[in-house]
Amino acid sequence: MLSDAGLPEHTIRPVATGPLLANFNTIVLSLPRFPSAGGIPLYAAFDALFLKARPRSAERNPLGYLFVAKKHA
Say yes or no to pLDDT of 37 above 70: no
Model confidence at 34, pLDDT cuts 50, 70, 90, reads: low
42-66 pLDDT, tens per residue?
A: 888 888 898 899 888 877 878 788 9
Is the residue at 18 inside a domain? Answer: yes
For residue 14, what pLDDT is reported? 84
Q: How many folded domains does the chain comprise?
A: 1
In a domain, 26, yes or no: yes
The span from the CA of 66 to the CA of 55, in Å, is 20
Asked whether residue 32 is domain-assigned, the answer is yes
Helix (H) or strand (E) holding 49: helix 33-53
Q: Is residue 50 part of a domain?
A: yes
Task: Look at residue 67 in the predicted model and tell me its pLDDT.
Answer: 92
* CA angle in degrees (0–180, nearest 5) for 70-71-73: 130
Residue 1 resides in a domain: no
Inform me whether the pLDDT recorded for 72 exceeds 80: no
The answer to the question of residue 4 being in a domain is no
- Domain encompassing residue 22: 9-70
Polymer length in residues for the chain? 73
